[in-house]
Amino acid sequence: MSISHQSYTPPKYLQEDEVSQECKDLLSTLPKEKGWAEPHLYNYQGFWYLAWQFQGVLECQKYFQAQDTDILLISSPKCGTTWLKALAFTIINRNSHSISNDHEQKHPLFYNNPHKLVPHLELESHINNPIFEPSSFSSSPSRLFATHLPYISLPKSAKASSCKLVYICRDTKDTFISLWHFMNNLRSNHLGPNSLEEAFEMFCRGVSIFGPFWDHVLDYWKESKERPNKVLFLKYEEMREDPNFHVKRLAEFFGVPFSLEEEGSRVVEKITNLCSFENLSKLVVNKDGKLPSGVENKTFFRGGEVGDWKNYLSPEMVEQLNRLNEEKFRGSRLEL
C-alpha cells in the first residue's frame, strides 16, 4: 500500500552531508540502517537518529542547562506532540496571552504553529541561541521546551534538576500509521513513498526515528512511577476522551492550577477549544505556513483520529503489534 506524498527537499542544514566534521567522525563509528526518509539511521545509546538529528542530540547534551522551573514536553514522534505544545503553551502563558477574547484572534496560536512557540531541544542550535537564555522567557513563569529524546539521552541537567517532564504516548498502531504518513511527506521526490509493509517491518524491529518505540515509552513510564512529582505520564486517547480534565491536570502539575474564578469563567473549556485539532487545523498559519526546516505546518494536522490504524493495517499486522506490546510491556502494567 502506498500514499501520495508532497514534494519536500530538506534544506542544507538537514542533509546528511552538511553535519559538522565532529559529527561525521562519530557517525562513522555507529551502527546504521537504511532510513525512512533520508539515506541512513544511526544508533546512539540504543536509539535511532537521522544524521542531522544526531548532531542536535550531541549539542543538546553538551550545552543545555536545565533550570528547576523548566518544563520539558516529551514524546516519541507522532504521539500528540503538536497538541501538547499548544495546550502547555496556552496554560503556562494564560495571564500574558489571554484567551478571553480569542474571537479577536490575538492569541499567538492564531499566527504561529505550536512548534514555533515551543522550541525543540534537539532541533535548535544551542550555540549563542537567545531562546535558551532565561531572559527570553521573562514574561512566563517557566521555560517551556520539547524533545523526542529517550530518557537515557536527556541532558544530565534535565535529570538532576527539579525541572518537570511531561510525557505523552499513543496507541502503538496509530503511532506507526501517523509516523509512516509523516515520514513519507519528508522523502525526497526521486525516492517516492515508503511502502506500508517496508515501514512496518522496520518499526517492528525498532528501527525508526527515536525508536525503538517500546523502549522510549517504557523508560518514561518507569520514571513516572518512581518520581511522579517530576514526570507526568499522559495517554493521547485518554486526553481526547476528557480534554478538560487533563488541561486541569497539566495546570496543577505545572504549578499554576486554575482558580475558582477561572473555572467559573470557563477558562479550561476555552483553552480546550482553542487548542483543539478542529480549531488549529483550520487556521491559515497551519494550512499555508512552514517551519524553518521547510516542513509544511499542515503536515502536523493530518487527522489526529483515534483508531485510524483500522484503515491501513492487516489483521496479521495488528496481531504482530499486539504481540509486541504484550512482550515489551510485560510486568509494567502499561497498556497501549
Position of cell 522550541?
Answer: 119
Whether 190 is catalytic is no
| Beta pairing partners, 146 | 73, 120
Tell me whether residue 316 is exposed, middle or buried, using C-beta atoms within 10 angstroms of its C-beta: 0 to 12, 13 to 18, 19 or more.
exposed
C-alpha closest to that of 150 among 47, 63, 51, 55: 47
Other beta carbons within 10 angstroms of residue 101's beta carbon come to 9
Q: Whole-angstrom distance between the N-terminal and C-terminal Cα of the chain? A: 25
Task: Count the alpha carbons within 13 Å of 295 in the hemisphere toward its beta carbon.
Answer: 18
Q: Are the beta carbons of 41 and 48 closer than 8 angstroms?
A: yes
Q: Angle formed by the axes of helices 315-329 and 196-204, to 10°?
A: 20
Q: Residue 266 corresponds to which amino acid?
A: R
Instruction: For 238-299, give the DSSP string.
Output: HHHH-HHHHHHHHHHHHT-PPPHHHHHTTHHHHHHHHTSHHHHHHSHHHHH-B-TTS-BGGG
Q: Could you identify the residue written with the cell 499522559?
A: 234
**Of 148, 181, 216, 246, catalytic:** 148
Residue numbers annotated as active site? 148
